[in-house]
Amino acid sequence: MSSKPADPPAGNAPATKAERKALADLLSRWQPPLAEPGANNKKSKAGSLAGFDPGAKPFSTDDKERDKESVDALAIELDTLQNLFYADRRYKLLVILQGTDASGKDGTLRGVFSRMSPLGVQTTAWKAPNESERAHDYLWRIHQRMPADGNIMIFNRSHYEDVLVPVVNGWITPAQTAQRYQQINDFERMLSETGTVILKFMLHISFDEQRERLQERVDDITKHWKFALGDLDARKQWKQYQQAYEDLLNATSTPWAPWTVVPSDSKTHRNLMIATLVRQRLLQLDLRYPPEDPALKGLKIT
């Protein structure tokens, strides 16, 4: 999974069948095995998170400046595609950015999605549930933030926190965890069957890279707002969180909502990979503008 095949042309649409296949083959190397509906989804060597190298750059041209230019070009094109997506109104898009502290969720929002028009694009940054939210089932607050027709919703963290934090801290049992996996799969299947396209990205960084990024937040006074002492508590549980991520990836990567592991030690590569895959998914939808309005034919504005 960490091996690097021939790179597709970054920032360019695969125009031929061979190029589209090359991109699909490349993407498949960064997706966990699909979970079987209703199965226990036991861990397997093929689904080990250790098999995904956080320092890899499978979508890179090995030229950082060229990669940055491609990210900029893709961000501009995503804005155009988003306008068409909004006009088409046949679909909804949910983009999930999930990862450990300092994995780059905010950076992805800035680098990939910030040029999109506010029209039809929203972002939700999920925090710990408040008292009202805790009085309902854990998916209640999530469902309220689903995108409407023609809209794009980007999650900074997500409902997957409910099979991470409670699992690592022992707040729910293994049986309850398995039940939540199935509930999440059913929830996402319902969304998919009613027109929501789901893209799930696990931003994967190394232990050393997280240390460097957290230290930067401590050393730079302008980044203190991004740092919380609780981040250090979670860092002490690194191995437990890695195991919890591995388990959820194996259990909830489904045909209707597969996971993609994004190697994210390189911020530029992270943005390039996500922008490329979001763009490609939008192109696959064959978006189109609504039929021409006959009432506008020949209309002259005076």
Residue-range domains of the chain with CATH: 39-285 (3.40.50.300)
Short-list 54, 23, 44, CA closest to 261: 54
First to last CA, the chain: 62
CB-based contact 198:191 (threshold 8 Å):
yes
Confidence of residue 47 (pLDDT cuts 50, 70, 90): confident
Find out whether 95 and 199 touch, Cβ atoms under 8 Å: yes
CA distance 178 to 114: 36
Distance (Å, whole) CA 54 – CA 41: 24
What are the tokens at 196? 């929501």
pLDDT of residue 40: 53
Instruction: Work out the number of other CB atoms within 10 angstroms of the CB of residue 68.
Output: 15
Residue 282 has phi, psi (to 5 degrees) of: -65, -40
Distance CA 47, CA 40 (A): 14
Contacts for 226-235 with beta carbons within 8 Å, 24 or more apart? 226/106, 231/101, 231/102, 234/100, 234/101, 235/101, 235/210, 235/211
Lowest mean pLDDT among 41-55, 70-84, 259-273: 41-55
Task: Tell me the three state secondary structure of residue 257.
Answer: strand
Question: Tens digit of pLDDT for each residue in 84-137?
Answer: 999 999 999 999 999 999 999 999 999 999 999 888 999 999 999 999 999 999
